[in-house]
């Protein structure tokens, strides 16, 4: 079969061409631009220097945003984990007739437009929103609380967006556990909690780590929730990039910040790949 040697390349050529010209080359351009200068006229001058990177770390303003992005991402991962593991475990163990329907239901928000889901929190957290109204109605508070435009509001939007990813990843790896192992643990005298701790929890860790990585990466690159639910002073790194590129048209500096974000995520994905293998990440999508 001589011709089968070039056939895979023929089959791959459209997608590789697309990824080359629409991803690889453009990202290389970002890297190159990040070393260039911005002329007072706004044009980028091809001159190799590290000024944009130096500028990022000189003033505390930019590292603060980077640090906030990291902090929000870590908090978001932890909250998604805490809020996601138990429902996933519920799906796994439940014998309810409605189990399938419930799993489908948790996927529904995934289909609903991200911007609608994000802005929906304004209706809940706003001064005349659902939460303030309910609390005042029951006389718990007399003045509306300002719940919007802070980091907690950003986290609400983020968790609602990312939780299905976490739940699904954990559920897929729980479902893959051989139920005989649990029987074995039980017959060896484990109680329910011990069996969970010794068998179920360790075996679900691949799903947990895949979910955590996905949530982290998606949070670190997030633009919308800080923009809509966070006030000034809650921007994250994606907002910074957007403002530099679209707002002040400072392409070289915006590119440098993009490279910093890419490097940060690259390190994390690389570490994950080294210890767990990147392919484990896509299991949940395949189900």
Beta carbon of residue 205, minimum distance to other proteins (angstroms, whole number) = 19
Nearer residue to other proteins within complex by CB, 23 or 54:
23
Nearer residue to other proteins within complex by CB, 52 or 160:
160
Beta carbon of residue 2, minimum distance to other proteins (angstroms, whole number) = 13
Q: Distance between CA 70 and CA 76 in Å, rounded? A: 10
Nearer residue to other proteins within complex by CB, 206 or 241:
241
Beta carbon of residue 51, minimum distance to other proteins (angstroms, whole number) = 18
Beta carbon of residue 49, minimum distance to other proteins (angstroms, whole number) = 18
Beta carbon of residue 286, minimum distance to other proteins (angstroms, whole number) = 4
- Closest Cα partner for 157 from 108, 228, 98? 228
Instruction: Please compute, for residue 183, the number of CA atoms within 13 A of its CA located in the half-sphere on the CB side.
Output: 3
- Closest Cα partner for 220 from 253, 267, 280, 256? 267
Taken in order 241, 244, 245, 251, is the CA torsion positive or negative? negative
Q: Distance between CA 54 and CA 57 in Å, rounded? A: 5
> Residue 45 pairs with which residues in a beta bridge?
37
Nearer residue to other proteins within complex by CB, 163 or 206:
163
- Closest Cα partner for 237 from 228, 229, 227, 247? 227
| Contact call for residues 49 and 35 (beta carbons, < 8 A) | yes
Nearer residue to other proteins within complex by CB, 206 or 213:
213
């Amino acid at each position: 079969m001589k011709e089968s040697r070039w056939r895979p390349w023929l089959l791959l050529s459209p997608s590789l061409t697309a990824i080359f010209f629409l991803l690889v080359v453009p990202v290389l351009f970002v890297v190159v631009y990040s070393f260039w200068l911005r002329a007072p006229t706004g044009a980028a001058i091809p001159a190799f220097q590290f000024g944009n990177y130096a500028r990022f770390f000189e003033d505390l303003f930019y590292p603060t945003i980077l640090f906030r992005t990291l902090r929000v991402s870590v908090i978001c991962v932890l909250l998604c984990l805490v809020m996601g593991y138990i429902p996933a475990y519920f799906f796994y163990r439940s014998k309810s007739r409605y189990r399938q329907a419930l799993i489908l239901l948790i996927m529904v928000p995934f289909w609903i437009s991200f911007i609608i889901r994000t802005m929906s929190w304004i209706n809940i957290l706003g001064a005349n929103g659902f939460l303030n109204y309910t609390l005042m109605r029951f006389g718990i508070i007399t003045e509306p609380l300002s719940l919007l435009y802070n980091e907690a509001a950003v986290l609400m939007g983020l968790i609602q967006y990312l939780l299905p990813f976490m739940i699904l990843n954990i559920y897929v790896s729980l479902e893959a556990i051989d139920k005989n192992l649990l029987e074995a643990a039980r017959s060896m005298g484990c109680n329910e909690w011990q069996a969970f701790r010794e068998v179920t929890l360790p075996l679900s860790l691949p799903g947990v780590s895949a979910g955590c990585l996905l949530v982290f990466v998606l949070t670190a690159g997030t633009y919308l929730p800080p923009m809509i639910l966070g006030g000034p002073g809650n921007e994250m790194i994606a907002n910074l990039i957007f403002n530099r590129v679209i707002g002040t048209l400072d392409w070289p500096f915006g590119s440098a910040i993009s490279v910093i974000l890419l490097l940060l995520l690259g390190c994390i994905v690389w570490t994950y790949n080294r210890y767990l293998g990147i392919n484990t990440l896509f299991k949940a999508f395949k189900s």
